[in-house]
Amino acid sequence: MAEHYDAVIVGAGPAGLAAAEAALVRGARVAWIDAQPTPGGQVWRKDVEHGWPRRAQRVIQHVLHHPNATWMPQTQVVAAGHDELLLQDASRAWRATYGALILATGARELLLPFPGWTLPGVTGAGGLQALAKQGWPLAGRRVVIAGSGPLLLAAAATAKRHGARVLGIYEQASEATVQRFARNLWRWPGKALQAALLRIQLAGIPYRCGSIVTRAIGNDALQLIEVDGPHGVERIECDQLAVGYGLVPNVELAQMLGCTMKYEGAHPRVDVDGMQRTSVANVYAAGELCGIGGRDSAWLEGRIAGMGATGAAIDASLLRKQRHARSFAAALREHFTLDPYIYDLAEPSTLICRCEDVTLQALDHYDDARSAKLATRCGMGACQGRVCGTVLAELGRFPRSGQRPPLFPARLSTLGDIDSLCENQGSSS
C-alpha cells in the first residue's frame, strides 16, 4: 500500500526547503526526501562544528517540526512511475503517491581528468567542503584550491575555517575576465557582498588567474602538483588538492519521468515554464536541475514551485526576482567558460572511469556510451556513470546514454518492485 501525499519534494537544499515551506503554508501534506542524513543540501550542509547557516536554521527547524511535514532522510528514489515513486532507505523500500511532485535534486560537481586526479588527497572543490563539514580532519594540512568560478572562494573559506593552510587559489579564467565579472556584480548586491566577505576572510591567500593544475604527483597519496600559469609551470608541495570546474544538473529522475530537456553545452537541464512546471503533468522542477543558477535562484524557484503545486497565486514581483537571479547564472557562464586546454590534460593512461579502472585510451574506438559500457564496463560502477559519463560528454567523446531504473544501487528486495512500477507507467525497464 503506497503512502499518499499532496506534494512530494525530492531534495532538501534551498530549492526543496523553499518549496516545502510554501506548500506547508497552503496546508498541504508534504513528504520531504533527501539522500543525506540532515537537510540543507550541499549549500547549507550542516557543519559538525558550526551547525547550519543562520538563514537556513530558521526554515529547516520550521519545516522539520511542522505537523504536516514528513521528513525522509537518507532516502533515495530508486524508480518512478505514473504519480508514484519507489523509495528506499537503509532498512526498507516502499512506495509513495502524490498529487504534485517537486524535483529539487540540485547538481553535482564537474570533475575533469588530468594525470593524478585519482590520487588520495585529490577531491572536487565542493567535495572538500562536504568532507570538512562532516568532520574530515583538515587542521594543519596544506591545501590548494583550483578550477573555476566562485565556488573556489567558498571552498577555500571552508578549508581555512577548519584549520587548513590554504596555499593558494588557482582560477583558470584570465585576470581580465575575472575583473570584468567583478565589475558587473553591482547588478546583484547580495552576490557582491558575499564576494567581498569571502575576500576579507581569505586575505593574504594568493589568488592566481589564468592558472590550471595540469598534474598531481605522489606515490600512495598526493605530494605535489604542477600548475601552468602566466609565468610558466609552478610545482607546489601540498597535502590536499581540490579542483572544481563548476556544476552539472542532476536530471536523472526528471529524465526517467519523461520531462523535456534543454541543453547547455554538453549537459541537459530540465525545461520549465515561468511557474516551474515541467512538460509532465503535476511535476515541477526548481533550482540547479533547471540550469546552474546558485542559491538565490534555487530559493526563489523552490518557492514558486511550492506555491504552484498547491494552487497558490504567484505574485509578479516574485517572478521578476527569479528572472533577475537567473541573469547571474548567465553572467557566470559567460565569464567562466573553460579554457580548451583543460580538455587536453588527460593522457592515454589516465583513468576516466574510476569505479571500473577504465583508461582514456580504452575508450578510443567507441562512439557511444552503450558500446563503451558493454565492452569496458565504463559507467557500470557505484556512481552509475555520473562522473565518467559526464566527463566523456564534456570532453566531446559521446553523450551519456538514456536513464533506466534503478536510479541508484538498490537491494535485490527493492529491485523486485521496479517492473510493476514501470508497467503502471506503461513502459518496461
User: pLDDT tens digit string along 245-264?
Assistant: 999 999 999 999 999 999 98
The answer to whether 359 and 387 have CB atoms below 8 angstroms apart is: no
- Condensed to tens digits (0 to 9), the pLDDT of residues 54-63 reads 888 989 999 9
Q: Answer whether residue 415 is part of any domain.
A: no
Q: Answer whether residue 14 is part of any domain.
A: yes
- Condensed to tens digits (0 to 9), the pLDDT of residues 80-130 reads 988 999 999 988 899 999 999 999 999 999 999 999 999 999 999 999 999
Are 194 and 240 found together in one domain? Answer: yes
Helix 189-201, helix 151-161: angle, nearest 10: 40
Are 32 and 49 found together in one domain? Answer: yes
Are 68 and 188 found together in one domain? Answer: no
Q: Answer whether residue 423 is part of any domain.
A: no
Pick from 329, 268, 307, 270: nearest CA to 104: 270
Boundary of a domain, candidates 203, 222, 245: 245
The reported pLDDT for the residue numbered 415 is 80
Reply yes or no on whether the pLDDT at 346 is more than 90. Answer: yes
Boundary of a domain, candidates 310, 334, 358: 334
- Return the top range by mean pLDDT from 45-49, 346-350, 413-417: 346-350
Mean pLDDT confidence for 381-396: 91
Burial call 129-163: b when 16+ CB within 10 Å, e when fewer: bbbbbeeeebeebebbbbbbbbbbbbbbbbbbebe
The reported pLDDT for the residue numbered 426 is 47
Mean pLDDT confidence for 210-227: 97
Lowest mean pLDDT among 33-42, 153-162, 395-404: 395-404
Mean pLDDT confidence for 235-248: 96
The reported pLDDT for the residue numbered 166 is 98
Are 190 and 264 found together in one domain? Answer: no
Are 94 and 119 found together in one domain? Answer: no
Q: Answer whether residue 144 is part of any domain.
A: yes
The answer to whether 168 and 144 have CB atoms below 8 angstroms apart is: yes
Q: Answer whether residue 58 is part of any domain.
A: yes
Over the chain, what is the mean pLDDT?
92
Neighbours of 420 (CB within 10 A): 12
Are 137 and 221 found together in one domain? Answer: yes
Mean pLDDT confidence for 26-45: 94
pLDDT more than 70, % of the chain:
97
pLDDT confidence bin for 335, thresholds 50/70/90: very high
Are 324 and 356 found together in one domain? Answer: no
Q: Answer whether residue 428 is part of any domain.
A: no
Beta carbons within 8 Å of 85's beta carbon, 6+ residues apart: 8, 10, 77, 79, 95, 96, 97, 98, 101
Are 161 and 225 found together in one domain? Answer: yes
Reply yes or no on whether the pLDDT at 427 is more than 70. Answer: no
Burial call 281-312: b when 16+ CB within 10 Å, e when fewer: eebbbbbbbbbbbbbbbbbbbbbbbbbbbbeb
Q: Answer whether residue 408 is part of any domain.
A: no
Mean pLDDT confidence for 405-412: 86
Residue type, 207: Y
Mean pLDDT confidence for 302-323: 95
pLDDT more than 90, % of the chain:
79
Boundary of a domain, candidates 245, 277, 309: 245
Are 237 and 119 found together in one domain? Answer: yes
Give the total number of structural domains in the chain. Answer: 3
Are 143 and 198 found together in one domain? Answer: yes
Cell 609551470 belongs to residue: 233
Neighbours of 220 (CB within 10 A): 8
Cell of 13: 537544499
Sign of CA dihedral 108, 175, 394, 228: negative
Q: What is residue 306's DSSP assignment?
A: H
The reported pLDDT for the residue numbered 81 is 85
Tell which wins on pLDDT, 413 or 176: 176
Q: Residue 234's domain is classified under what CATH number?
A: 3.50.50.60
The reported pLDDT for the residue numbered 420 is 64
Pick from 253, 302, 311, 312: nearest CA to 17: 302
The reported pLDDT for the residue numbered 1 is 67
Reply yes or no on whether the pLDDT at 418 is more than 80. Answer: no
Are 326 and 281 found together in one domain? Answer: yes
Range of the domain at 382: 347-394
Distance (Å, whole) CA 104 – CA 100 = 13
Q: Answer whether residue 133 is part of any domain.
A: yes
Reply yes or no on whether the pLDDT at 299 is more than 70. Answer: yes
Mean pLDDT confidence for 132-159: 95
Are 117 and 231 found together in one domain? Answer: yes
